[in-house]
Protein backbone atom coordinates (compact mmCIF):
# COMPACT_ATOMS: atom_id res chain seq x y z
CA UNK A 1 0.00 0.00 0.00
CA UNK A 2 1.32 3.44 -0.97
CA UNK A 3 0.00 7.00 -0.76
CA UNK A 4 -0.39 9.15 -3.89
CA UNK A 5 -0.11 12.82 -2.78
CA UNK A 6 -1.12 14.18 -6.20
CA UNK A 7 -4.62 12.67 -6.37
CA UNK A 8 -4.83 11.74 -2.65
CA UNK A 9 -5.84 8.11 -2.89
CA UNK A 10 -4.38 5.14 -1.09
CA UNK A 11 -3.15 2.65 -3.67
CA UNK A 12 -3.40 -1.03 -2.73
CA UNK A 13 -1.57 -3.56 -4.88
CA UNK A 14 -2.03 -7.31 -4.60
CA UNK A 15 -2.55 -9.03 -1.27
CA UNK A 16 -4.16 -12.30 -0.23
CA UNK A 17 -7.92 -12.77 -0.02
CA UNK A 18 -8.38 -14.01 3.53
CA UNK A 19 -11.39 -16.22 2.77
CA UNK A 20 -9.86 -18.01 -0.22
CA UNK A 21 -6.07 -17.70 -0.10
CA UNK A 22 -6.11 -16.31 -3.67
CA UNK A 23 -3.46 -13.70 -4.51
CA UNK A 24 -4.99 -11.45 -7.20
CA UNK A 25 -2.64 -9.05 -8.98
CA UNK A 26 -5.05 -6.13 -8.81
CA UNK A 27 -4.68 -2.42 -8.14
CA UNK A 28 -7.29 -0.58 -6.10
CA UNK A 29 -7.55 3.07 -5.03
CA UNK A 30 -9.32 4.51 -2.00
CA UNK A 31 -10.27 8.18 -2.48
CA UNK A 32 -9.58 10.64 0.34
CA UNK A 33 -11.32 13.59 -1.38
CA UNK A 34 -15.08 13.82 -1.60
CA UNK A 35 -17.12 10.78 -0.69
CA UNK A 36 -14.99 7.82 0.43
CA UNK A 37 -15.00 5.04 -2.15
CA UNK A 38 -12.91 2.15 -3.44
CA UNK A 39 -12.16 2.10 -7.18
CA UNK A 40 -10.80 -0.99 -8.93
CA UNK A 41 -8.23 0.29 -11.40
CA UNK A 42 -7.82 -3.11 -13.02
CA UNK A 43 -6.31 -6.56 -13.08
CA UNK A 44 -2.69 -6.26 -14.14
CA UNK A 45 -0.23 -8.51 -15.91
CA UNK A 46 0.79 -10.68 -12.99
CA UNK A 47 4.29 -10.29 -11.54
CA UNK A 48 4.77 -14.03 -11.34
CA UNK A 49 7.00 -15.72 -8.81
CA UNK A 50 6.96 -12.87 -6.30
CA UNK A 51 6.13 -12.85 -2.64
CA UNK A 52 6.44 -9.78 -0.41
CA UNK A 53 7.32 -7.35 -3.22
CA UNK A 54 8.27 -3.78 -2.28
CA UNK A 55 6.07 -1.00 -3.71
CA UNK A 56 6.88 2.70 -3.77
CA UNK A 57 5.20 5.72 -5.41
CA UNK A 58 7.35 7.88 -7.73
CA UNK A 59 5.69 11.36 -7.83
CA UNK A 60 8.02 12.72 -10.52
CA UNK A 61 7.07 10.07 -13.07
CA UNK A 62 3.59 9.52 -11.56
CA UNK A 63 4.03 5.76 -11.40
CA UNK A 64 4.03 2.81 -9.02
CA UNK A 65 7.25 0.80 -8.68
CA UNK A 66 7.31 -2.85 -7.59
CA UNK A 67 10.76 -4.11 -6.67
CA UNK A 68 12.19 -7.49 -5.73
CA UNK A 69 10.27 -10.27 -4.08
CA UNK A 70 11.20 -13.91 -3.87
CA UNK A 71 12.34 -15.27 -7.21
CA UNK A 72 12.28 -11.94 -9.05
CA UNK A 73 14.99 -9.30 -8.63
CA UNK A 74 13.58 -7.15 -11.45
CA UNK A 75 12.11 -3.68 -10.83
CA UNK A 76 8.89 -3.00 -12.73
CA UNK A 77 6.81 0.17 -13.12
CA UNK A 78 3.13 0.86 -13.67
CA UNK A 79 2.08 4.25 -15.06
CA UNK A 80 -0.86 5.58 -13.06
CA UNK A 81 -2.07 7.61 -16.05
CA UNK A 82 -2.45 4.46 -18.16
CA UNK A 83 -2.45 1.39 -15.87
CA UNK A 84 -2.41 -1.42 -18.41
CA UNK A 85 0.76 -3.42 -17.84
CA UNK A 86 3.96 -3.56 -15.86
CA UNK A 87 7.14 -2.55 -17.68
CA UNK A 88 10.69 -3.42 -16.61
CA UNK A 89 12.35 -0.07 -15.97
CA UNK A 90 15.50 -0.87 -13.96
CA UNK A 91 18.11 -3.59 -14.38
CA UNK A 92 17.82 -6.67 -12.14
CA UNK A 93 19.81 -6.90 -8.94
CA UNK A 94 23.22 -8.58 -9.24
CA UNK A 95 22.90 -12.36 -9.15
CA UNK A 96 24.91 -12.87 -5.98
CA UNK A 97 24.19 -9.81 -3.87
CA UNK A 98 21.63 -8.65 -2.90
CA UNK A 99 19.87 -11.29 -5.02
CA UNK A 100 16.12 -11.84 -5.19
CA UNK A 101 14.73 -10.35 -2.00
CA UNK A 102 11.57 -10.46 0.01
CA UNK A 103 10.51 -8.60 3.15
CA UNK A 104 12.96 -5.78 2.45
CA UNK A 105 12.21 -2.06 2.42
CA UNK A 106 12.32 0.14 -0.68
CA UNK A 107 12.29 3.94 -0.59
CA UNK A 108 12.69 6.72 -3.14
CA UNK A 109 15.31 9.43 -2.52
CA UNK A 110 13.33 12.27 -4.11
CA UNK A 111 16.16 14.80 -3.91
CA UNK A 112 18.62 12.72 -5.93
CA UNK A 113 16.11 10.55 -7.85
CA UNK A 114 17.61 7.31 -6.50
CA UNK A 115 15.84 4.07 -5.71
CA UNK A 116 17.08 2.55 -2.46
CA UNK A 117 16.62 -0.99 -1.08
CA UNK A 118 17.41 -1.73 2.57
CA UNK A 119 17.88 -5.23 3.99
CA UNK A 120 15.57 -8.17 3.46
CA UNK A 121 16.23 -11.90 3.45
CA UNK A 122 19.09 -13.21 1.32
CA UNK A 123 21.10 -10.25 2.55
CA UNK A 124 23.78 -10.14 5.25
CA UNK A 125 22.89 -9.23 8.80
CA UNK A 126 24.65 -5.86 8.54
CA UNK A 127 21.57 -4.34 6.84
CA UNK A 128 23.13 -3.92 3.41
CA UNK A 129 21.89 -0.98 1.35
CA UNK A 130 21.76 -0.86 -2.44
CA UNK A 131 20.68 2.02 -4.63
CA UNK A 132 20.20 2.75 -8.29
CA UNK A 133 20.77 6.20 -9.84
CA UNK A 134 19.12 6.30 -13.29
CA UNK A 135 21.20 9.32 -14.28
CA UNK A 136 24.50 7.52 -13.77
CA UNK A 137 25.71 4.10 -14.90
CA UNK A 138 22.69 1.76 -15.09
CA UNK A 139 23.91 -0.52 -12.30
CA UNK A 140 22.92 -1.21 -8.71
CA UNK A 141 25.60 -0.03 -6.29
CA UNK A 142 26.24 -1.31 -2.77
CA UNK A 143 26.51 1.27 0.00
CA UNK A 144 28.34 0.43 3.19
CA UNK A 145 26.73 1.14 6.54
CA UNK A 146 28.89 2.33 9.44
CA UNK A 147 28.02 1.38 12.08
CA UNK A 148 25.66 -1.33 10.91
CA UNK A 149 22.31 -1.56 12.71
CA UNK A 150 22.18 -4.64 14.96
CA UNK A 151 18.78 -6.14 14.29
CA UNK A 152 16.92 -9.04 15.91
CA UNK A 153 16.13 -12.03 13.74
CA UNK A 154 12.48 -11.23 13.11
CA UNK A 155 13.24 -7.62 12.19
CA UNK A 156 15.83 -8.78 9.65
CA UNK A 157 12.98 -10.34 7.69
CA UNK A 158 10.41 -7.56 8.07
CA UNK A 159 11.10 -3.89 8.61
CA UNK A 160 9.79 -0.42 7.85
CA UNK A 161 11.85 2.36 6.27
CA UNK A 162 11.19 5.83 4.85
CA UNK A 163 13.17 8.59 3.20
CA UNK A 164 12.61 11.83 5.13
CA UNK A 165 12.96 14.60 2.54
CA UNK A 166 12.77 17.38 5.15
CA UNK A 167 15.74 16.00 7.08
CA UNK A 168 17.42 14.37 4.04
CA UNK A 169 17.83 11.08 5.90
CA UNK A 170 16.70 7.48 6.12
CA UNK A 171 14.54 6.40 9.05
CA UNK A 172 14.60 2.64 9.75
CA UNK A 173 12.26 0.93 12.21
CA UNK A 174 12.90 -2.65 13.30
CA UNK A 175 10.23 -2.86 15.99
CA UNK A 176 12.48 -2.35 18.99
CA UNK A 177 14.80 0.37 17.78
CA UNK A 178 14.72 3.36 15.49
CA UNK A 179 17.79 4.08 13.34
CA UNK A 180 18.54 7.21 11.31
CA UNK A 181 21.26 8.01 8.79
CA UNK A 182 22.00 11.03 6.63
CA UNK A 183 21.89 10.19 2.95
CA UNK A 184 25.47 10.13 1.74
CA UNK A 185 27.88 7.83 -0.09
CA UNK A 186 28.64 6.12 3.23
CA UNK A 187 25.70 5.81 5.59
CA UNK A 188 26.27 6.70 9.24
CA UNK A 189 23.56 5.02 11.29
CA UNK A 190 22.58 6.38 14.70
CA UNK A 191 20.47 4.27 17.05
CA UNK A 192 17.63 6.13 18.73
CA UNK A 193 17.28 3.75 21.66
CA UNK A 194 14.06 4.28 23.61
CA UNK A 195 14.16 4.60 27.35
CA UNK A 196 11.77 2.65 29.56
CA UNK A 197 10.75 -0.99 29.43
CA UNK A 198 7.44 -0.76 27.55
CA UNK A 199 7.95 -1.33 23.83
CA UNK A 200 5.49 -1.75 20.94
CA UNK A 201 5.38 -5.09 19.13
CA UNK A 202 7.88 -5.66 16.35
CA UNK A 203 7.14 -6.51 12.71
CA UNK A 204 5.48 -8.41 11.17
CA UNK A 205 2.67 -7.91 13.71
CA UNK A 206 3.25 -4.14 13.90
CA UNK A 207 2.96 -1.63 11.06
CA UNK A 208 4.58 1.80 11.00
CA UNK A 209 3.98 5.22 9.40
CA UNK A 210 6.02 8.43 9.59
CA UNK A 211 4.89 12.06 9.93
CA UNK A 212 7.83 14.13 8.56
CA UNK A 213 6.54 17.53 9.65
CA UNK A 214 6.17 16.47 13.29
CA UNK A 215 9.18 14.11 13.10
CA UNK A 216 7.02 11.43 14.68
CA UNK A 217 6.80 7.68 14.07
CA UNK A 218 3.52 5.82 14.62
CA UNK A 219 3.24 2.07 15.16
CA UNK A 220 -0.09 0.21 15.09
CA UNK A 221 -0.62 -3.33 16.30
CA UNK A 222 -3.93 -5.00 17.05
CA UNK A 223 -5.96 -2.24 18.81
CA UNK A 224 -3.03 -0.19 20.10
CA UNK A 225 -1.23 2.77 18.53
CA UNK A 226 2.18 3.90 19.72
CA UNK A 227 4.10 7.10 18.95
CA UNK A 228 7.47 8.72 19.58
CA UNK A 229 9.60 11.49 18.04
CA UNK A 230 12.39 10.05 15.91
CA UNK A 231 15.14 12.31 17.26
CA UNK A 232 14.04 11.83 20.87
CA UNK A 233 15.39 8.81 22.73
CA UNK A 234 12.46 8.94 25.14
CA UNK A 235 9.95 6.13 25.64
CA UNK A 236 7.21 5.02 23.27
CA UNK A 237 3.81 6.47 24.22
CA UNK A 238 0.63 4.46 23.79
CA UNK A 239 -2.19 6.68 22.51
CA UNK A 240 -5.52 6.64 24.34
CA UNK A 241 -8.85 6.94 22.53
CA UNK A 242 -12.33 8.03 23.59
CA UNK A 243 -14.04 5.40 21.45
CA UNK A 244 -13.33 1.72 20.68
CA UNK A 245 -10.52 1.38 18.18
CA UNK A 246 -10.30 -1.12 15.33
CA UNK A 247 -7.92 -4.04 15.14
CA UNK A 248 -5.09 -3.16 12.75
CA UNK A 249 -3.53 -6.15 10.98
CA UNK A 250 -2.36 -4.61 7.68
CA UNK A 251 -0.29 -1.67 6.45
CA UNK A 252 -1.00 1.87 7.67
CA UNK A 253 -0.23 5.22 6.00
CA UNK A 254 0.20 8.87 7.00
CA UNK A 255 -1.95 11.45 5.18
CA UNK A 256 0.07 14.74 5.21
CA UNK A 257 -2.81 16.80 3.83
CA UNK A 258 -5.21 16.13 6.70
CA UNK A 259 -2.54 15.14 9.27
CA UNK A 260 -4.15 11.80 10.01
CA UNK A 261 -3.19 8.16 10.33
CA UNK A 262 -5.05 5.80 7.97
CA UNK A 263 -5.67 2.09 8.52
CA UNK A 264 -7.50 0.26 5.72
CA UNK A 265 -8.65 -3.32 6.26
CA UNK A 266 -9.27 -2.78 9.98
CA UNK A 267 -12.26 -3.89 12.01
CA UNK A 268 -13.60 -3.62 15.54
CA UNK A 269 -12.51 -6.80 17.43
CA UNK A 270 -15.20 -9.44 17.10
CA UNK A 271 -16.61 -7.93 13.90
CA UNK A 272 -16.08 -9.07 10.32
CA UNK A 273 -17.00 -5.63 8.94
CA UNK A 274 -13.68 -4.35 7.58
CA UNK A 275 -13.48 -0.61 6.89
CA UNK A 276 -11.00 2.23 6.41
CA UNK A 277 -10.30 3.97 9.71
CA UNK A 278 -8.55 7.26 10.49
CA UNK A 279 -7.21 8.93 13.61
CA UNK A 280 -5.93 12.51 13.77
CA UNK A 281 -3.41 12.56 16.64
CA UNK A 282 -2.15 16.06 15.97
CA UNK A 283 -3.38 19.41 17.33
CA UNK A 284 -6.78 20.86 16.49
CA UNK A 285 -7.05 22.38 13.02
CA UNK A 286 -9.97 23.68 10.95
CA UNK A 287 -9.83 24.91 7.35
CA UNK A 288 -12.34 26.72 5.17
CA UNK A 289 -12.93 24.85 1.91
CA UNK A 290 -15.49 27.14 0.24
CA UNK A 291 -17.50 30.33 0.82
CA UNK A 292 -20.38 31.36 -1.47
CA UNK A 293 -22.81 34.28 -1.25
CA UNK A 294 -26.45 33.45 -1.91
CA UNK A 295 -29.72 35.36 -1.49
CA UNK A 296 -30.06 33.58 1.87
CA UNK A 297 -26.65 34.67 3.21
CA UNK A 298 -23.14 33.20 3.04
CA UNK A 299 -22.68 29.44 2.66
CA UNK A 300 -19.51 28.20 4.38
CA UNK A 301 -17.94 24.76 3.99
CA UNK A 302 -15.40 23.83 6.68
CA UNK A 303 -13.31 20.72 7.17
CA UNK A 304 -11.58 19.22 10.20
CA UNK A 305 -10.63 15.67 11.11
CA UNK A 306 -9.62 16.68 14.63
CA UNK A 307 -12.81 18.52 15.67
CA UNK A 308 -15.16 15.59 15.08
CA UNK A 309 -17.05 14.65 18.25
CA UNK A 310 -16.36 18.04 19.89
CA UNK A 311 -18.73 20.94 20.50
CA UNK A 312 -18.03 23.62 17.88
CA UNK A 313 -19.60 26.90 16.83
CA UNK A 314 -19.25 29.46 14.03
CA UNK A 315 -18.19 33.02 14.95
CA UNK A 316 -18.30 36.18 12.81
CA UNK A 317 -17.12 39.77 13.00
CA UNK A 318 -17.40 42.82 10.71
CA UNK A 319 -14.39 45.16 10.47
CA UNK A 320 -13.30 46.07 14.03
CA UNK A 321 -16.36 44.75 15.88
CA UNK A 322 -16.22 41.98 18.49
CA UNK A 323 -16.66 38.34 17.55
CA UNK A 324 -20.29 37.20 17.52
CA UNK A 325 -21.41 33.59 17.98
CA UNK A 326 -23.65 32.51 15.08
CA UNK A 327 -24.64 28.86 15.35
CA UNK A 328 -23.35 25.46 16.42
CA UNK A 329 -21.31 23.50 13.90
CA UNK A 330 -21.32 19.70 13.60
CA UNK A 331 -18.35 18.06 11.87
CA UNK A 332 -18.99 14.78 10.10
CA UNK A 333 -16.80 11.80 10.85
CA UNK A 334 -15.26 12.29 7.38
CA UNK A 335 -14.34 15.90 8.24
CA UNK A 336 -16.78 18.26 6.47
CA UNK A 337 -19.26 20.67 8.09
CA UNK A 338 -21.51 23.10 6.19
CA UNK A 339 -23.44 26.08 7.53
CA UNK A 340 -25.28 29.16 6.22
CA UNK A 341 -24.93 32.56 7.90
CA UNK A 342 -28.31 34.23 7.23
CA UNK A 343 -27.22 37.46 8.94
CA UNK A 344 -24.58 38.35 6.32
CA UNK A 345 -25.65 41.47 4.43
CA UNK A 346 -24.81 42.29 0.79
CA UNK A 347 -22.05 44.87 0.38
CA UNK A 348 -20.29 43.94 3.63
CA UNK A 349 -17.05 42.01 4.27
CA UNK A 350 -16.74 39.54 7.14
CA UNK A 351 -14.21 37.52 9.10
CA UNK A 352 -15.16 34.01 10.20
CA UNK A 353 -13.60 31.52 12.59
CA UNK A 354 -14.58 28.30 14.36
CA UNK A 355 -14.56 27.85 18.14
CA UNK A 356 -14.00 24.28 19.40
CA UNK A 357 -14.43 23.18 23.01
CA UNK A 358 -11.45 21.43 24.58
CA UNK A 359 -11.08 19.95 28.04
CA UNK A 360 -10.31 23.28 29.70
CA UNK A 361 -10.95 26.16 27.30
CA UNK A 362 -12.10 27.22 23.83
CA UNK A 363 -9.79 26.78 20.86
CA UNK A 364 -10.21 29.14 17.87
CA UNK A 365 -9.20 28.59 14.28
CA UNK A 366 -7.44 31.27 12.26
CA UNK A 367 -9.75 34.01 11.00
CA UNK A 368 -10.80 33.71 7.34
CA UNK A 369 -11.74 36.81 5.34
CA UNK A 370 -14.85 36.52 3.15
CA UNK A 371 -15.19 39.72 1.10
CA UNK A 372 -18.16 41.02 -0.81
CA UNK A 373 -17.61 40.42 -4.55
CA UNK A 374 -17.85 44.17 -5.21
CA UNK A 375 -14.87 44.82 -2.93
CA UNK A 376 -12.61 42.10 -4.32
CA UNK A 377 -9.18 43.18 -5.46
CA UNK A 378 -6.51 41.42 -7.47
CA UNK A 379 -4.57 39.33 -4.92
CA UNK A 380 -2.14 36.40 -4.93
CA UNK A 381 -2.27 34.65 -1.56
CA UNK A 382 0.35 32.01 -2.46
CA UNK A 383 0.47 28.31 -1.67
CA UNK A 384 -1.81 26.82 0.95
CA UNK A 385 -0.11 25.44 2.98
CA UNK A 386 3.33 27.02 2.54
CA UNK A 387 5.66 25.07 2.58
CA UNK A 388 3.57 22.69 0.48
CA UNK A 389 4.09 18.92 0.61
CA UNK A 390 3.94 16.80 -2.54
CA UNK A 391 2.03 19.21 -4.79
CA UNK A 392 1.19 22.92 -5.09
CA UNK A 393 -2.21 24.52 -4.47
CA UNK A 394 -2.20 28.26 -5.23
CA UNK A 395 -4.87 30.61 -3.87
CA UNK A 396 -5.66 33.92 -5.61
CA UNK A 397 -8.48 36.44 -6.05
CA UNK A 398 -9.86 38.15 -9.14
CA UNK A 399 -12.04 41.29 -9.06
CA UNK A 400 -13.93 40.42 -12.25
CA UNK A 401 -13.87 38.29 -15.37
CA UNK A 402 -11.37 39.12 -18.08
CA UNK A 403 -7.92 38.02 -19.27
CA UNK A 404 -5.62 37.07 -16.38
CA UNK A 405 -2.57 34.82 -16.28
CA UNK A 406 -0.98 32.85 -13.43
CA UNK A 407 2.68 31.78 -13.85
CA UNK A 408 5.27 29.92 -11.78
CA UNK A 409 9.05 30.47 -12.06
CA UNK A 410 11.99 28.67 -10.47
CA UNK A 411 14.77 30.50 -8.60
CA UNK A 412 16.68 30.97 -11.88
CA UNK A 413 13.78 32.83 -13.43
CA UNK A 414 12.76 30.03 -15.78
CA UNK A 415 9.01 29.72 -16.30
CA UNK A 416 7.87 26.26 -15.18
CA UNK A 417 4.11 26.59 -15.63
CA UNK A 418 1.53 29.06 -16.96
CA UNK A 419 -2.26 29.14 -17.17
CA UNK A 420 -4.99 31.56 -18.27
CA UNK A 421 -7.28 32.01 -15.22
CA UNK A 422 -9.48 34.96 -16.18
CA UNK A 423 -12.34 32.66 -17.12
CA UNK A 424 -12.72 31.59 -13.49
CA UNK A 425 -14.49 34.93 -12.85
CA UNK A 426 -14.61 37.14 -9.75
CA UNK A 427 -13.89 35.63 -6.37
CA UNK A 428 -11.22 33.66 -4.55
CA UNK A 429 -9.97 30.52 -6.29
CA UNK A 430 -7.59 27.63 -5.62
CA UNK A 431 -5.71 26.09 -8.57
CA UNK A 432 -3.45 23.03 -8.58
CA UNK A 433 -0.80 23.15 -11.35
CA UNK A 434 -0.59 20.06 -13.53
CA UNK A 435 1.36 17.21 -11.86
CA UNK A 436 2.85 16.31 -15.25
CA UNK A 437 5.29 19.20 -14.83
CA UNK A 438 7.28 16.98 -12.45
CA UNK A 439 7.73 19.41 -9.59
CA UNK A 440 10.95 19.05 -7.62
CA UNK A 441 11.39 20.25 -4.03
CA UNK A 442 12.63 23.82 -3.84
CA UNK A 443 11.70 27.51 -3.91
CA UNK A 444 9.43 28.92 -6.63
CA UNK A 445 7.82 32.28 -7.39
CA UNK A 446 4.25 32.81 -8.60
CA UNK A 447 3.08 35.81 -10.63
CA UNK A 448 -0.52 36.89 -11.28
CA UNK A 449 -1.10 39.50 -14.00
CA UNK A 450 -4.36 41.20 -15.01
CA UNK A 451 -5.17 44.48 -16.78
CA UNK A 452 -1.68 45.92 -16.26
CA UNK A 453 -1.54 44.93 -12.57
CA UNK A 454 0.84 42.34 -11.17
CA UNK A 455 1.08 40.36 -7.91
CA UNK A 456 3.87 37.98 -6.82
CA UNK A 457 4.29 35.37 -4.05
CA UNK A 458 7.03 33.02 -2.88
CA UNK A 459 6.30 29.26 -2.85
CA UNK A 460 8.19 26.44 -1.10
CA UNK A 461 7.69 22.80 -2.09
CA UNK A 462 8.97 19.87 -0.02
CA UNK A 463 8.57 16.09 -0.24
Spans of all domains in the chain: 2-279, 287-370, 376-462
Whether residue 282 contacts residue 236, with contact meaning beta carbons closer than 8 Å, is answered with no
Run of H or E residues at 156: helix 153-156
pLDDT string in tens for the chain (463-residue length): 888 777 778 888 777 666 665 666 678 888 877 667 888 876 655 554 455 567 788 877 788 877 655 555 567 777 877 766 677 776 665 544 444 455 567 788 888 877 777 765 544 444 456 666 655 556 677 776 666 665 544 444 456 788 888 888 988 876 667 888 888 767 788 888 777 667 777 766 788 899 988 889 999 988 899 998 888 777 888 888 877 889 998 889 998 877 889 998 888 888 878 888 988 887 888 989 889 888 888 999 998 888 888 899 999 998 668 999 999 999 988 788 999 999 998 878 888 999 999 877 899 998 888 877 766 788 888 887 777 877 788 888 888 888 999 999 988 888 989 999 998 877 778 888 876 566 788 889 999 999 989 999 998 888 6
Whether residue 448 contacts residue 380, with contact meaning beta carbons closer than 8 Å, is answered with yes
- Distance from C-alpha of 41 to C-alpha of 84, rounded to nearest angstrom: 9
pLDDT of residue 403: 92
Write out the CATH class of domain 376-462: mainly beta
Write the CATH number of the domain with boundaries 2-279: 2.120.10.80
pLDDT of residue 51: 54
Whether residue 109 contacts residue 141, with contact meaning beta carbons closer than 8 Å, is answered with no
- Distance from C-alpha of 400 to C-alpha of 429, rounded to nearest angstrom: 12
pTM to 2 decimals? 0.67
**CATH 2.60.40.10 at 287-370, yes or no:** yes
pLDDT of residue 107: 83
Compute how many other C-beta atoms are within 10 angstroms of the C-beta atom of residue 106: 22
The answer to whether 2-279 and 376-462 have equal CATH topology is no
- Distance from C-alpha of 69 to C-alpha of 50, rounded to nearest angstrom: 5
Amino acid sequence: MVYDPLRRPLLVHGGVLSDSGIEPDELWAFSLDGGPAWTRIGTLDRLRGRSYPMDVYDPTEDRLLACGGSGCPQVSALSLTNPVRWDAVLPPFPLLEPGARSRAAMVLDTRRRRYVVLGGDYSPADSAVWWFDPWQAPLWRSVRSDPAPILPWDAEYSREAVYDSLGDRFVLFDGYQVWTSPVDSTLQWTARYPTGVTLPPAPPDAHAAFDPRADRLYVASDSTVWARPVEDSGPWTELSFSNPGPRVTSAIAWDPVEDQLLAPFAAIPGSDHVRVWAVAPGPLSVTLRAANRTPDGIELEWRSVTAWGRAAALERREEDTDWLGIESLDFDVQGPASIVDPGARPGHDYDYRVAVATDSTLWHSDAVFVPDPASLRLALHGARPNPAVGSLAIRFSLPASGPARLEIFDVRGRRCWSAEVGGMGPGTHVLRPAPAVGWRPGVYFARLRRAGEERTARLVLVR
